[in-house]
């Protein structure tokens, strides 16, 4: 939409996609740690406020790129809080004394909430941007209307963390002891960046690379690609729980292999300039993302100590979301090297990561 209506370059559009990582990474690291000490509720309320403010700035996007960049930055803060604090809160509410669900329920629910929200939001926004009035404004106003009432819901949820975390000044809480666990560093952290690298390449970069064949339907294709990827991700999550194994990291290794295959199919779609191959690529990428999210969160919950669950969840998502910078990097160097060659290098790096993950998974167990 921003390329077609406001004539921003592909590099600028992909920078919009990646800029919210600048707000997201600090929020992931800081919000999780602070909620371990001060409670989940107050930090989540800050996240909701950031969501409303971010969408308000994005709705002012027609006035200039600065509003879009600032809105994306605050949206990153929102996602950071939701991922670090929300995931930990869901996990805690899914166990005693609040509920007696199975061990993996918290991870499945958190991953499902993420993919349904991301997929549903993208579909609604894409359809409004294609056929609705004031397409650069209305999706964000709708998001504000949907989001703001959740402040009341969050205010009524049971608090699960009071006065926890590490003793001493608040900045000591930013140290996450379990982030140094060998299993986290050599297995989880190796797999994590591929989650959102796959997402960014599949439904962030690919639609811009197929503009020649999608024409005026480019926004519809981008919406469809997002829906296919995140819809498949949601459907795969029950399977992911059965695939997961702390003895072998079977879930993460399978996920990385599927995502690497999906990126290779993205390259085929660009080479053939095929919409249908592009959708197949997003189906594969979505399957890998769904498995990796659930298995990654289960690994984090097994590794984290009782005082730094939200903090380690934040570290996991910070590493994962670094992958969302991939489309901007591809767009930045596409003038110096063919896109297919760049994707081939990414696939090769993925294979190396997969081999390293397999080698480390049996050697370093969660406990």
Average pLDDT over residues 89-106: 80
pLDDT of residue 4: 73
110 vs 251: CA distance, rounded Å? 17
Average pLDDT over residues 270-274: 95
Residue 47 binned pLDDT confidence (cut-offs 50, 70, 90) = very high
Average pLDDT over residues 228-254: 83
Structural domains present in the chain: 2-158+175-361 (1.20.1250.20)
pLDDT of residue 64: 85
Q: Say which range, 111-115, 199-203, 218-222, has the weakest mean pLDDT.
A: 111-115
Mean pLDDT of all residues belonging to the chain: 86
289 vs 192: CA distance, rounded Å? 10
pLDDT of residue 6: 76
pLDDT of residue 352: 95
57 vs 63: CA distance, rounded Å? 10
Question: Has residue 291 got a pLDDT over 60?
Answer: yes
Average pLDDT over residues 119-148: 90
Alpha carbons within 13 angstroms on the beta-carbon side of residue 278 total 27
132 vs 247: CA distance, rounded Å? 50
pLDDT of residue 166: 57
The sign of the torsion formed by the CA atoms of 194, 300, 303, 18 equals: positive
Q: Which residues contact 292 (CB under 8 A, 6 or more apart)?
A: 191, 192, 194, 195, 251, 252, 255, 256, 259
Question: Has residue 306 got a pLDDT over 70?
Answer: no
Average pLDDT over residues 46-64: 94
Question: Has residue 103 got a pLDDT over 80?
Answer: no
* Integer CA distances (angstroms), 349 to 40, 64, 211, 353, 363, in order: 37, 37, 27, 6, 22
pLDDT of residue 130: 83
Concatenate the DSSP letters of all residues of 33-78 into one string: HHHHHH-HHHHHHHHHHHHHHHHHHHHTGGG-HHHHHHHHHHHHHH
pLDDT of residue 163: 61
Residue 302 binned pLDDT confidence (cut-offs 50, 70, 90) = confident
Question: Has residue 331 got a pLDDT over 90?
Answer: no
> Could you tell me which of 51, 46, 19, 53 has the C-alpha nearest to residue 30?
46
Question: Has residue 308 got a pLDDT over 90?
Answer: no
pLDDT of residue 366: 56
pTM of the model: 0.79
Question: Has residue 257 got a pLDDT over 90?
Answer: yes
Average pLDDT over residues 327-339: 85
Q: Which residues contact 148 (CB under 8 A, 6 or more apart)?
A: 48, 52
Q: Say which range, 6-10, 55-59, 253-257, has the weakest mean pLDDT.
A: 6-10
Phi-psi category of 337—alpha, beta or left, where left has phi over 0 and alpha has psi -120 to 50? beta
Q: Are 260 and 354 in contact (CB under 8 A)?
A: yes
pLDDT of residue 335: 79
C-alpha dihedral (193, 198, 200, 205), degrees to nearest 10? 140
Helix 40-59 crosses helix 138-147 at what angle (to 10 degrees)? Answer: 160
Count of Cβ atoms closer than 10 Å to residue 158 Cβ:
11
Question: Has residue 146 got a pLDDT over 80?
Answer: yes
pLDDT of residue 78: 94
> Could you tell me which of 149, 177, 157 has the C-alpha nearest to residue 36?
177
Residue 165 binned pLDDT confidence (cut-offs 50, 70, 90) = low
Whether the ω angle into residue 66 lies within 30 degrees of 0, i.e. cis, is no
Exposure string for 167-195, b = 16+ CB within 10 A, e = fewer: eeeeeebeebebbebebbebbbbbbbbbb
Question: Has residue 244 got a pLDDT over 80?
Answer: no
Question: Has residue 171 got a pLDDT over 70?
Answer: no
Classify burial at 152, counting beta carbons within 10 Å of its beta carbon; exposed 0-12, middle 13-18, buried 19 or more. Answer: exposed
pLDDT of residue 77: 93
Question: Has residue 305 got a pLDDT over 90?
Answer: no
Average pLDDT over residues 125-141: 89
Among 158-167, 219-228, 304-313, name the most confident range: 219-228
């Amino acid at each position: 939409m921003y390329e077609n209506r406001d004539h921003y370059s592909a590099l600028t559009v992909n920078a919009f996609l990646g800029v919210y990582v600048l707000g997201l990474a600090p929020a992931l690291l800081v919000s999780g740690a602070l909620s371990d000490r001060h409670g989940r509720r107050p930090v989540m309320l800050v996240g909701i406020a950031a969501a409303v403010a971010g969408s308000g700035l994005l709705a002012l996007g027609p006035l200039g790129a600065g509003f879009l960049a600032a809105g994306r930055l605050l949206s990153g803060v929102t996602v950071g809080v939701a991922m670090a604090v929300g995931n930990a809160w869901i996990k805690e509410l899914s166990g005693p004394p609040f509920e007696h669900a199975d061990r993996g329920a918290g991870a499945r629910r958190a991953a499902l909430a993420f993919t349904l929200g991301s997929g549903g939001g993208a579909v609604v926004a894409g359809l409004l941007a294609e056929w609705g009035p004031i397409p650069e404004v209305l999706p964000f106003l709708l998001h504000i209307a949907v989001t703001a009432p959740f402040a009341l819901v969050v205010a009524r949820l049971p608090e699960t963390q009071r006065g926890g975390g590490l003793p001493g000044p608040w900045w000591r809480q930013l140290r996450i002891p379990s982030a140094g666990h060998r299993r986290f560093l050599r297995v989880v952290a190796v797999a994590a960046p591929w989650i959102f690298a796959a997402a960014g390449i599949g439904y962030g970069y690919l639609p811009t690379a197929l503009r020649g064949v999608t024409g005026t339907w480019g926004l519809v294709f981008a919406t469809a690609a997002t829906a296919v990827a995140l819809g498949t991700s949601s459907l795969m999550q029950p399977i992911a729980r059965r695939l997961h194994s702390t003895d072998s990291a079977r879930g993460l290794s399978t996920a990385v292999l599927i995502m690497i295959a999906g990126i290779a199919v993205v390259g085929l779609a660009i080479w053939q300039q095929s919409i249908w191959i592009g959708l197949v690529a997003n189906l594969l990428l979505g399957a890998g993302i769904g498995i990796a999210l659930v298995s990654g969160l289960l690994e984090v919950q097994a590794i984290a100590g009782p005082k730094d669950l939200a903090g380690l969840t934040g570290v996991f998502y910070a590493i994962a979301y670094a992958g969302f910078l991939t489309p901007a990097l591809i767009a930045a160097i596409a003038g110096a090297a063919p896109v297919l060659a760049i994707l081939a290098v990414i696939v090769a790096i993925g294979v190396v990561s997969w081999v390293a993950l397999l080698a480390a998974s049996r050697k370093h167990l969660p406990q």
